[in-house]
């Protein structure tokens, strides 16, 4: 191991911290192709807008995403595609952890997929209206 420099390690820890919340991972997952509007994220993830904005701030401050104003709306994008590869590896590792210990506890209520037939993507952001 080539003796990593300290600053890199601290930065790596900051990145990992930004990734250490389920909502933020889901946000990054939604940003995969072409980014997403804030409104879209609140709809798809089913969480209050303020909360989504807070999590987006964390991702922004970690330098992982960019925010671009488009009139009234704001579109967020992943800054470096390598981040998505990283998230993929993280999810793969997580998958083997999960299957390794089988289906144990019954999944927190809060994180269950939203009820009802609210189709994924049924929000009013420009993307979902087919405007862009």
Partner DNA sequence: ACACTTTATTCGAAAATCGGAATAAAGCTG
Partner DNA sequence: CAGCTTTATTCCGATTTTCGAATAAAGTGT
Sites of contact with DNA (CB under 7 A): 17, 20-21, 23, 37-39, 42, 47-51, 53-58, 67, 69, 71-74, 124-125
**What is the distance between the alpha carbons of residues 88 and 9, in angstroms, rounded to a whole number?**
21
Tokens found for residue 10: 């601290």
H-type alpha helices, the chain: 6-18, 22-30, 38-45, 49-61, 81-100
DSSP string over 106-132: ---GGGSPPSTT--TT-S-STTTTT--
By beta-carbon proximity to its own copies, the closer residue of 85 and 122 is 85
**In the complex, what is the shortest distance from the CB of residue 126 to its own copies, in angstroms, rounded to a whole number?**
19
Using rule CB under 8 A, residue 91 touches its own copies: yes
Least spacing, CB of residue 88 vs DNA, in Å: 21
For residues 81 and 32, what is the distance between their CA atoms, to the nearest angstrom? 9
Q: Which residues contact 51 (CB under 8 A, 6 or more apart)?
A: 23
Residue 8 or 99: which CB sits closer to DNA?
8
Please identify, among the stretches 14-22, 53-61, 66-74, 124-132, the one whose residues bind its own copies according to the rule CB under 8 A. Answer: 14-22
Contact positions vs its own copies (CB under 8 A): 1, 4, 6-17, 19-22, 24-26, 29-30, 32-33, 63, 80, 82-83, 85-87, 89-98, 107-108, 111-113
């Amino acid at each position: 191991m080539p003796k990593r420099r300290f600053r890199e390690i601290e930065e790596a820890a900051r990145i990992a911290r930004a990734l250490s919340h389920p909502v933020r991972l889901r946000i990054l997952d939604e940003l995969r192709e072409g980014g997403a509007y804030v409104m879209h994220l609140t709809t798809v993830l089913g969480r209050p807008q303020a909360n989504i904005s807070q999590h987006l701030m964390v991702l922004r401050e970690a330098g992982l995403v960019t925010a671009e104003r488009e009139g009234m709306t704001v579109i967020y994008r992943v800054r470096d595609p390598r981040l998505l590869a990283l998230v993929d590896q993280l999810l793969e590792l997580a998958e083997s952890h999960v299957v390794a210990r089988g289906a144990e506890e019954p999944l927190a209520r809060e994180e269950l997929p939203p009820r009802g037939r609210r189709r994924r993507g049924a929000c009013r952001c420009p993307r979902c209206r087919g405007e862009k």
